[in-house]
Amino acid sequence: MRMTRTIPYLLGAAVAATFPLFTGAYLQQVAVSTLIYLTLAVSWDMLLRSGQLGFGTAGFFGLGSYAAVLLVLNVNAHPFLSIAFGGLVAGAVALLVGLAVLRLRGMYFAITTLALASIFAVVLRNFPRLTGGPEGKMLPTCIYAGDTTKIYWLVLAVAVLTIVISEVFERTRIHLALTSIRNDERVAKSSGVNVFRYLVFVFAVTSAIQGIAGGTYAHVFGFVSPEGSFSANFLLLPLAMALLGGIHSTWGPVVGGLVLGALSEYLKLQIPYGHLLVYGAIIVVVTLFLPQGVSRMFKTWVRRSSVTRGVQ
């Protein structure tokens, strides 16, 4: 049973690793943006597992983008270093902010993180000398000169790193702590979980991941701007991916990300005018008929079919 369970993961890893060997630049480019959104989806879910609904994803993404680009422009740092710096800045800001806002719960936390994201964008817009103002800043050269295969590897590495961190969180006592906080904070507290410290830790880590994703995105497309880098897309699409795939797990957001990433591109080619209508309708239908998310539906389906085949 253990063997059969690992097969899908191995298969997935094999496909992900060899993807550039049998695809061209176009599919790689689609994969690159899908993987970036997927990374955001997983990181958003990681915080959600503690019961905290974060709406700051786009904010930390944008912060990471700006930090990475500005480091390159001002001290000519290596791209990798600047991406890490993007993560560091986002993580550090999240740590500081988290100390204050993680006392909030539910929609109050959600709206405060959303507000902070907007504040980041407006503040950056209002310092044109450093940040280029509303027009933003451009990198002199893009990472790997736009070579999609290499970019794919880079983005895949970021996504895999995120998945690994998420799995570590799922398999260590962090998981127990976060789940207990989500289920009943008072019980968690009385059983000795330092709720606040855990929340700050997870918030900082997930924000750092979002910052890294932002830094990577900025290097792939070569520019930052308040409208582009802090776009609501970087909040709403990952959120939809995680919810559609199934929340409170690593693989839900991953599956949701892959499905929505492929679906949006496919629909666009099939229905040039009006594909977003179909996309929205599919989200509605999936929510209604697969309330547990696509990944759990898939699991149930696999389990059921193995039952009918009498394997188990």
By CB under 8 A, what part of segment 275-294 binds another protein? 275-277, 279-284, 287-288, 291-292
Write b or e for each residue in 158-175: b if 16 or more Cβ atoms lie within 10 A of its Cβ, otherwise e. Answer: bbeebbebbeebbeeebe
Whichever of 3 and 284 has its CB closer to another protein, that residue is 284
What minimum distance in Å lies between the beta carbon of 148 and another protein? 7
Whichever of 88 and 195 has its CB closer to another protein, that residue is 195
Burial (CB count within 10 angstroms: exposed 0-12, middle 13-18, buried 19+), residue 129: exposed
Contact criterion met (CB below 8 Å) for 54 and 110 = yes
**Inter-CA distances, 59 with 193, 208, 219, Å:** 29, 11, 17
State the binding string over 94-123 for another protein (x if CB under 8 A, else -): ------xx-xx--xx-xxx-xxx-xx--xx
**Number of residues in contact with another protein under rule CB under 8 A:** 86
Q: What SS3 state is found at 138?
A: strand
What minimum distance in Å lies between the beta carbon of 190 and another protein? 18
Q: What SS3 state is found at 140?
A: coil
What minimum distance in Å lies between the beta carbon of 192 and another protein? 21
Burial (CB count within 10 angstroms: exposed 0-12, middle 13-18, buried 19+), residue 297: middle
Contact criterion met (CB below 8 Å) for 247 and 115 = no
Map the footprint of another protein across residues 122-141, applying CB under 8 A: 122-123, 125-126, 133-136, 138
Length of the chain: 312
3-state helix, strand, coil in the chain (%, to 5): 80, 0, 20
Of 61-69, 78-86, 194-202, 218-226, which segment contacts another protein by CB under 8 A? Answer: 218-226
Map the footprint of another protein across residues 3-22, applying CB under 8 A: none
Map the footprint of another protein across residues 72-91, applying CB under 8 A: none
Interface residue with another protein, options 169, 221, 230, 251 (CB under 8 A):
221
Interface residue with another protein, options 76, 274, 310, 312 (CB under 8 A):
274
Map the footprint of another protein across residues 135-174, applying CB under 8 A: 135-136, 138, 142, 145-148
What minimum distance in Å lies between the beta carbon of 223 and another protein? 4
For residue 273, state whether it binds another protein (rule: CB under 8 A): yes
- What lies within 8 Å, CB to CB, of 297 at 6+ separation is 290
What minimum distance in Å lies between the beta carbon of 163 and another protein? 21
For residue 216, state whether it binds another protein (rule: CB under 8 A): no
Interface residue with another protein, options 11, 176, 233, 311 (CB under 8 A):
233
Angstrom distance (rounded) from CA 132 to CA 91: 23
CA angle at residue 157 from 72 to 208, to 5 degrees? 60
For residue 30, state whether it binds another protein (rule: CB under 8 A): yes
What minimum distance in Å lies between the beta carbon of 64 and another protein? 16
For residue 213, state whether it binds another protein (rule: CB under 8 A): no
For residue 36, state whether it binds another protein (rule: CB under 8 A): yes
- What lies within 8 Å, CB to CB, of 311 at 6+ separation is none
**Inter-CA distances, 50 with 99, 159, 175, 251, 306, Å:** 16, 21, 9, 17, 33
Of 7-15, 29-37, 64-72, 205-213, which segment contacts another protein by CB under 8 A? Answer: 29-37
CA angle at residue 176 from 170 to 179, to 5 degrees? 90
For residue 310, state whether it binds another protein (rule: CB under 8 A): no
For residue 243, state whether it binds another protein (rule: CB under 8 A): yes
